[in-house]
Amino acid sequence: MIWVKLAFGGFGRRFVEALAAAIVLAATSATVAGSLMVVEGARNTLGRAIRQDRPDIIEVKSRFNRALFETPRSGNLPPLTIPVYEPLIDPTELEKAAGDNQVVKRQSLFRNVVSGDSFLNIYIFGIDPDVERGLSSFSLARGRFLRAEDRAAAVIDQASAQALGVNVGGTFPVRKADGTDLQLTVVGILDGLELRGAPPRSAEAPSLRPDSTFVSSGAFVNIQTSEDIFGRESLTDALLIARSASDVPALVAKLQEAFRLEPGIFVTERYGQYQRKVRDFVLTLALFSAVSIATALLAGSFASNLLHDIYVERRRQYATLMALGFPPAMGIGPAVIFGLVLGLAAATFGGLAARIFVPRTFAMPSLMADLGPTKPTIDWVVVCSVVAIAIAAMSVGLASTMARLLREPIAATLSEASP
């Protein structure tokens, strides 16, 4: 009880300054918390855009195979498996040019079966299942996804499975390059598919999204199985994942140099488009961050000055405790307790005010970026920042008083006139 009286009793005319310091800290906390909530929400929005656009990915594709435009729709023709893109990419040269950046190999094939007046086409993609699941979106309805050790196994979408009349555990034939058929066993059925870097739809085939201009269906096999079907290791297309998005321009130049003698190979990236898209969004985000810092510094310095005046008024009290034999830490303890309680109470009220009055969604001003509404977010970064501002204001206000009590003789402090 005595410590409560020492910390909060006897303010006298300094009570108004203490109240003003609390109000200023609360207003500062509310302003900074609101700004940081918007900043954190904007960072989340920007992170979502990065995950969706993946500016660190480079696409390497061969020229489109004209045979896909000429696939027959009727007649009695033998089954045929052809590449979607011409197989011009040497995987060894690609890995050499990529260096220590990750290479995602693909073989995009097209299975064409014509019988009488009917035909049944499906796309077949040779992939690395472990890597591809981190890039594309696969929603399993039944069964399981491919594993690295699978051979002659396929995961197929519902539309293609229905057209082929197969289910999990069933098989369907695929004509190999040597003229024989390979029976693929279905291990999983997909009800949703978003293939990153999917080829454009150029031939009729079952589709999960008939209105899409890109392939949204097909059978997925291991890259080793597609090599058995295709009879070669050459890739039709591939993705490269740069170590960081900023490395993309240099990596693109290196790839173009490596394949400069092959005009049928095209290297494309989204990094430049992404940078133009989010540039003004990032500038607005930096502005909000600067406003938060400036507000914290200006208002925090004003609050620390008010606390300084209060501590100077009570300096003789702290010196008296030290003269009575209390250790310096206990002598200054009431000042620290008062500052912490005042600062944390102000931070709490300010944070609650920001939580109540900051809108649930916020449209970040930007000219080019269409990243959707920003949702202000309160997390540990916001909470710790607001608490840190309150503690910093208390520490700065107490610093000169503490330094004088520790450096000068106690008798000098006790003999000085009250302010």
pLDDT in tens, 335-390: 677 777 777 787 788 778 877 777 777 666 554 456 667 777 777 777 787 788 77
Map residue 96 onto helix, strand or coil. helix
Name the amino acid, one letter, at 244.
S
| Across 44-51, average pLDDT | 77
> In the structure, what pLDDT confidence band is assigned to residue 6 with cuts at 50, 70 and 90?
very low
pLDDT in tens, 23-33: 777 777 787 77
pLDDT score at 119: 75
Closest CA to 313 of 406, 410, 416: 416
DSSP output for 329-370: HHHHHHHHHHHHHHHHHHHHHHHHHHHHHS-S-B----SS--
pLDDT score at 346: 78
pLDDT at position 41 over 70: yes
Which residue shows structure tokens 């140099």? 257
Closest CA to 345 of 19, 11, 40: 19
**What's the Cα-to-Cα distance from 15 to each of 10, 18, 20, 309, 320, rounded to whole Å?**
9, 5, 9, 11, 21
Q: What is the average pLDDT score of the chain?
A: 79
| Across 306-311, average pLDDT | 65
pLDDT score at 105: 92
| Across 20-47, average pLDDT | 77
pLDDT score at 203: 80
pLDDT in tens, 68-127: 777 776 667 788 888 999 899 999 999 999 988 999 999 999 988 876 667 788 999 999
Q: For 12, which DSSP code?
A: G
**What's the Cα-to-Cα distance from 51 to each of 37, 135, 244, 285, rounded to whole Å?**
21, 9, 13, 18
pLDDT in tens, 327-337: 665 656 676 77
